[in-house]
Chains A and B, each alone.
Chain A
Amino acid sequence: MALVNARTPLELPSGAETTVRRPLGVFQRPVRPTGWRSWVFTVDHKKVGIMYGAGSLLFFLVGGIEALLIRTQLARPGLKVLSADLFNQVFTMHGVTMIFLVVMPLQAAFANYLIPLQIGTRDVAFPRLNALSFWIWLFGSIFFNTSWFLGGGADGGWFNYAPNNGVIFSPGHGIDFYAVGLQIIGVASLISAVNLIVTVINMRAPGMTWFKLPVFTWMALVTQFLLLFALPVIAVALFLLTFDRLYGSNFFNASLGGDPMLWEHLFWIFGHPEVYIMIMPSFGIVSEIIPVFSRKPIFGYPFMVFSGIAIGFMGWGVWAHHMFASGIGPMSVMAFSLSTMFIAVPTGVKILNWLATMWGGRLRFSTAMLFAIGLVTMFTIGGLSGVTHAFAPADTQQTDTYYIVAHFHYVLFGGALLAIFGGFYFWWPKMFGYRLGEKVGKWNFWLMLIGFNLTFGPMHILGLQGMSRRIFTYSPDQGFDFWNMVATIGAFTIAVSVLVFFANIITSFRKHRRTQEVVSGDPWDARGLEWMIPSPAPEHNYDEIPVVTELDEFWHRKYGHDEEGHLVRIASAEEVSQKGDATNVHLPSPSYWPIVLAAGLPFIGYGVIYNLAWAVLGGLLLLAGVFGWVMEPSTDPEADHGLHGGDDLEPTAEAAFEEAAAGEGDPQAELEEAPR
């Protein structure tokens, strides 16, 4: 219930009169449709997605520089580019940055941008919460990085084992920033998970049953469930750590009855689903790209969906494969070794189904397609090395060596990140109205692929020949010199490819500005609903919510098939696309409160670490945000952002269905007029 006071009369279809009541409040709602305010106070899922993407790319540069520092220090034995202390901080921050500040938010960027579009709706279920997630993530990430300027970054590794993570062994504030910073960032993902789950369950377009959901939305949905259940576990671990470090508890202190293994278990119960969280949306991206550029549907849609669900479930039963050498006892080792071996099965199914999609197709090697095939091949390598250490005795030789570093970079960089780059090239026209250059894109891809293999391929050899992880240097008599140098050269090659990517963005944008050309809504002749609307996507997404009758609905409005299964064109893209010019759409209004609320959290963080006065300030901001939010209606009745054509209230979709059920009116026409 909003607090309101009366103002102008409102005409209802029945002829009765009533008054519109303006909400009470000190501030008018932000209404600017352009400029920085339209981004900072937006609740539009597309803008939120783009901001996630931009923020992540910025942190990608930070994490990348940290990687280059590591590789420079390790290029030759005995170098002193980084002291041991600084090296420990750099590799810790590199890991945390790449996982929580790059790959996860990039997946969130695509999930936020695409899910409402792919399910045929106008926004997520809770738009202000969506904005809140982003601002919490951004402020948490900045907070985490301020540790560099406040005494040093976290230095216990991203996995941060106890008791090394405790105050005796790591007395500086770095790990406090890790504990509090990740706590804050975790809240963002948790909120987003709830939001997207509710969105997919409740807001699918009419006719879009579960087995007509695009594969990306399925994979992203499984990811949200993984987030929902995994994040509370790391939250508990981080709380216990914070209490041990700041308030003198002893959860991980063996000499006083605590147990360092507790941290390991809690961390990895989160940590294993975490890696599926990072890879599954990329599996979804590849499942969208390959069919489009093979001109065939995804091979085995049900198996793709079920294997994703299977991975989601099985991922909970393998965590102690990170602990095969930790002393968990042979029974546990055996159980987790077997479960880890078998999780390769659903993953392998996906690889084969992607290949089968290409089989018999008519392949077009756009940059997006190259990146997608990149995941298929590079993830296979990472997956195979993973299977080799599913065998626990083998893992007692391989764990904590560069062989593992090679494995996870192949699945995360060669897998998750390559697909994300593919996603950029694929959906860029939908987001911004112009394509990223294809010629420069090919340079981006090949440099990245070659650099990546040069960097991480040799690490398999280094690991098997005994090079431990997390060492700031090595000695010439250990035999690691040659491949480390090769890996460093590869790392700088990756750096060049990343610069090429950014150069591509700049030159493509400039060309778009100069020529004023806007690409069509369907530049790739693609399959999903999101290609049915103009590029860039209009703020309200769909003029009319589409009614879905099959998987790849948009494709089937353009193409039918003959008796032999060959494609037959039945309509052009323009004929079945929407114009984007609807004027009677109610949209959720922008709001100040998400960013205000989010701003409270870093202050609470500083307060917990330094001086509780800051926490009080943060708490006040938080409360102000909560109260302001609660008292504000989700849509400003006075809102006029160019789309609300007047005061006439249109029937909602539900009303239209009810009327149809009661035998009145034409449901299809009602639906088409519904302002949802």
Chain B
Amino acid sequence: MIRRTSIRRAVWAATSSALVLVAAGCGLHDDEKPLNTLAPKGKQADEIYSLVTPVFLVAGVVFVLVMGAALYLAIRYRRRKDDVDGVDEPIQRHGNTPLEWGWTILPALVLAVLAIGNVKTIWTLENDQRDAPMEVEVIGQQWWWEFRYDVDGDRKPDVITANQLVIPAGTTVRLAIQSNDVIHSFWIPMLSGKKDAVPGRTHHWAITAAEPGIFQGQCTEFCGLSHAYMRMEVKALSQADYDKWIEHQMAAPEEPSAGSEAEAGKQVFFTKCASCHQVNGYDDTGKKLDTHQPNGDYRGAQHPLIAGNAPNLTHIMSRDKFARNMFQLYEDGAKLEGVLPEGDPNAGTLGSWLRNPPGMKPMNADANRGMPNLQLPEDEIRKLVAYLTLLK
């Protein structure tokens, strides 16, 4: 009698907890959560997800069995109130060697089967990267990501952007991940696993977006003060749109009209900003150069930053966020998914940033890591915003 009730109880408890788990699991695939690893949107994330699903299933089964067993044993073999010590005592079993060998070998076999899928996926991901038709350099530094595209294959960057990595949808891209200072990690969960950016090394890793869209990312190797705020995104465009985007990025920067506030802003820019920030076609004093190809070794005359340089701002308004992809460049309601964003520039946030960057994100600017507070007067801020919002 007792045995049947306790078995029933244990089965009930185990099934209900299993159902709870399954229900919770169903809610896990929510792709409203922008960093969800369980909502794959590209080949590599899919491959990982296909490996993870059977593994979680097996783990779930083991979980239910072990918890169920523990519950059953606790109920079935508990000391009853009327048990007499020294009389009602259990049989002193010391072990059961065949059983123990069995439960050593069986898990090993299960793991061996799962290992096949494991090894296959490891090498598939590696071959995805080796066979990828295009490559983008991804360079991490405190606390932002730079992207360099070598379009004509001459080993010199033709496009240098920041924060938003634009790729053609449906094409596997090989990322050449590097770091200019400490270890960072590049991670766009919906598209792939993460790969560390280690100074002195280049790590290759494949990423594919199945369909056009914007996919969020986060630096995932602790890198100091603003690690939490070191974000990036991938924008996938149709091949045609991507080609347009590349063409746009390789074009010369917009020039302000004479006498405008934006032109005054350009003067301020080359006095105050150009020692770290590059605008293609100019050197750090504002002198126009013959070419508007970006300078891959851009350093201001004083090159104060330990990591070397700051984001290239030539086409800043072609991105939708700034400052490690944290703050919006466009007001709410802007259309962000096309080749170029369409909407009203968010002058307010840009102005706040220029007023006091360390106030908006923790940085070690006084140790040459991050953007300092340049103590810009208000009129200069206004002029700079006018110039920057022009740079689409």
Shortest CB-to-CB span from A299 to chain B, Å, is: 5
- A384 with B36: CB separation less than 8 A: no
Distance of A388 Cα from B205 Cα, bound (Å): 22
Q: Which stretch in A82-90, A125-133, A539-547 binds the other chain?
A: A82-90
By a CB distance below 8 angstroms, the chain A residues around B177 are 327
B56-70 contact mask (Cβ, 8 Å, vs A): 1 or 0: 100100110011011
Shortest CB-to-CB span from A256 to chain B, Å, is: 10
B14-52 contact mask (Cβ, 8 Å, vs A): 1 or 0: 000000000010001010111111100000010110011
Interface: A254 (CB within 8 A)? yes
Query: Which of A164, A469, A474 interacts with B183 by CB under 8 Å?
Result: A164
On whether A355 and B73 interact (CB within 8 A), knowing A341-B114, A564-B91, the answer reads: yes
Interface: A32 (CB within 8 A)? no
Distance of A260 Cα from B96 Cα, bound (Å): 50
Distance of A393 Cα from B100 Cα, bound (Å): 32
Number of residues on chain A facing chain B (CB within 8 A): 98
Number of residues on chain B facing chain A (CB within 8 A): 92
Interface hits, B92-126 → A, CB 8 Å: 92-97, 99-100, 103-104, 107-108, 111, 114-115, 118-119, 121-123, 125-126
Shortest CB-to-CB span from A294 to chain B, Å, is: 7
A303-326 contact mask (Cβ, 8 Å, vs B): 1 or 0: 100000000000000000000011
- A474 with B199: CB separation less than 8 A: no
- A348 with B103: CB separation less than 8 A: yes
- B199 with A255: CB separation less than 8 A: yes
Query: Which of A85, A296, A393 interacts with B362 by CB under 8 Å?
Result: A85
Interface: B194 (CB within 8 A)? yes
By a CB distance below 8 angstroms, the chain A residues around B78 are 362-363, 365
Query: Which of B24, B63, B228 interacts with A461 by CB under 8 Å?
Result: B24
Query: Which of A260, A338, A358, A393 interacts with B48 by CB under 8 Å?
Result: A393
- B121 with A351: CB separation less than 8 A: no
A357-371 contact mask (Cβ, 8 Å, vs B): 1 or 0: 011111111000000
Distance of A531 Cα from B214 Cα, bound (Å): 66
Interface: A470 (CB within 8 A)? yes
- B218 with A466: CB separation less than 8 A: yes
- B38 with A168: CB separation less than 8 A: no
Shortest CB-to-CB span from A303 to chain B, Å, is: 5
- B95 with A302: CB separation less than 8 A: yes
Q: Which stretch in B2-10, B153-161, B219-227 binds the other chain?
A: B219-227
Distance of A377 Cα from B63 Cα, bound (Å): 9
Query: Which of B37, B107, B118, B218 interacts with A397 by CB under 8 Å?
Result: B37
Shortest CB-to-CB span from B17 to chain A, Å, is: 12
Interface: A399 (CB within 8 A)? yes
- B86 with A163: CB separation less than 8 A: no
Q: Which B residue sits closest to A365, measured CB to CB?
A: B78
Interface: B79 (CB within 8 A)? yes
- B362 with A391: CB separation less than 8 A: no
Interface: A38 (CB within 8 A)? no
Shortest CB-to-CB span from A595 to chain B, Å, is: 38
By a CB distance below 8 angstroms, the chain B residues around A398 are 37
Interface: B374 (CB within 8 A)? no
A400-426 contact mask (Cβ, 8 Å, vs B): 1 or 0: 110000000000000000000000000
- A345 with B107: CB separation less than 8 A: yes
Distance of A299 Cα from B94 Cα, bound (Å): 5
By a CB distance below 8 angstroms, the chain B residues around A361 are 77, 90
Shortest CB-to-CB span from A393 to chain B, Å, is: 4
On whether A397 and B33 interact (CB within 8 A), knowing A353-B100, A359-B77, the answer reads: no
- A388 with B118: CB separation less than 8 A: no
On whether A297 and B94 interact (CB within 8 A), knowing A384-B62, A397-B48, A479-B33, the answer reads: yes
Interface: A478 (CB within 8 A)? yes
Interface: A39 (CB within 8 A)? no
Shortest CB-to-CB span from A166 to chain B, Å, is: 8
Interface: A387 (CB within 8 A)? yes
Shortest CB-to-CB span from A524 to chain B, Å, is: 12
On whether A401 and B220 interact (CB within 8 A), knowing A260-B199, A479-B33, A566-B89, the answer reads: yes
By a CB distance below 8 angstroms, the chain B residues around A525 are 85
Shortest CB-to-CB span from A142 to chain B, Å, is: 27
By a CB distance below 8 angstroms, the chain A residues around B226 are 84
- B70 with A397: CB separation less than 8 A: no
Q: Which B residue sits closest to A400, measured CB to CB?
A: B220
Interface: B200 (CB within 8 A)? yes
By a CB distance below 8 angstroms, the chain B residues around A384 are 59, 62-63
Query: Which of B36, B66, B88, B187 interacts with A362 by CB under 8 Å?
Result: B88
- B59 with A388: CB separation less than 8 A: yes
B196-227 contact mask (Cβ, 8 Å, vs A): 1 or 0: 10111101000000000000101111111111
Binding site for B on A (CB under 8 A): 83-85, 88, 156-157, 161-164, 168-171, 254-255, 259-261, 294-297, 299-303, 325-327, 330, 333-334, 337-338, 341-342, 344-346, 348-349, 351-353, 355-356, 358-365, 373, 376-377, 380-381, 384-385, 387-388, 391-401, 461, 464-474, 477-479, 525, 561, 564-567, 569
Q: 8 A-B residue contacts at CB 8 Å?
A: A254-B201, A325-B193, A349-B103, A394-B51, A397-B37, A397-B193, A468-B220, A471-B228
Binding site for A on B (CB under 8 A): 24, 28, 30, 32-38, 45, 47-48, 51-52, 55-56, 59, 62-63, 66-67, 69-70, 73-74, 77-79, 83, 85-86, 88-97, 99-100, 103-104, 107-108, 111, 114-115, 118-119, 121-123, 125-126, 142, 177, 181-183, 185, 187, 189, 192-196, 198-201, 203, 216, 218-228, 306, 362, 367, 369
